Structures are given as structure tokens and as C-alpha cells.
Amino acid sequence: MLLITCPFCGPRPELEFGYAGEAHVVRAQDPREVSDLQWTEYLYQRSNVRGVHAERWRHAHGCAQFFNALRDTTTDHFVATYRIGEPRPDAAVEAGR
């Protein structure tokens, strides 16, 4: 079974987790200030990466916390997991290659 390392609980079976979309998609502080095009991009446009993708996961049947992960979409390999608010650990991407 695929193990995912929760930043709080450590390596745990994939069954306990839920996927929650692309990470680092920033919502405008004041949506009234952005154009319709920018708002549409925020709502609907995703990077759809082939390769290392930053995405949100939730340890739903565990500590219940959201966290971010870098996962290679071609191999399903989890390069790194990190807490919400931490920067994308791109050094880990280089090391994982």
C-alpha cells in the first residue's frame, strides 16, 4: 500500500487520506478588486502538471489536518510533504530526482 507521510503523524496508509486539489492557489484579499478574468483563473485554472505537482491532502481518518505535498504525477511518488504555510520545498524535488 502507498504510504503518505503526514507532517504530524508520520508515514500512514493512503486509505486514511483525502486529496484536496492543487496547493498554493492564492485567493485575492479583496475579490472585488480583481478582474473577472483573474477571478475565473483563480476559480478554474489549474496547472495540470506532468511531473512534480504541489497539492493539498488531508489526513481525514487521522489527525484531520490539511497539509501540502509534492507528488510526481507520472509515478505517484511523493517527493515531500510539508505543513500549510511552509514554502514549497523545491530542494526536495532536486534531491528526489
Partner 1 sequence: MAETMARLHPLAAVKTVADAHLLAQGPMGRFSLRLAANAAPAPLGALGLSLPLAPCRAAQSETAAALWLGPGEWLLLTAPERASAVEAALRAELAGQAFSLVEISHRQTGLSLSGPRAAQRLNAGCPLDLDLASFPVGMCTRTVFAKAEIVLWRTGVEAFHIEVWRSFVPYLWELLVIVGAETS
# chain residues binding partner 1, by CB under 8 A: 13
Contact indicator for 57, 25 with CB cutoff of 8 Å: no
Alpha helices (H) along the chain: 36-44, 90-96
Verify binding: residue 63, partner 1, rule CB under 8 A.
yes
* Binding site partner of 53, from partner 1, Zn ion, none, Cβ cut-off 5-8 A by kind: none
CB of 66 to partner 1, least distance (A): 11
Q: Kind and range of the H or E element at 41? A: helix 36-44
Residue 20: which of 77, 50, 76, 60 has the closest Cα? 60
Which residue among 5, 34, 62, 89 contacts partner 1 (CB under 8 A)?
A: 62
- Helix (H) and strand (E) counts for the chain? 2, 6
Of 4-12, 24-32, 38-46, 84-92, the segment contacting partner 1 by CB under 8 A is 4-12
CB of 67 to partner 1, least distance (A): 11
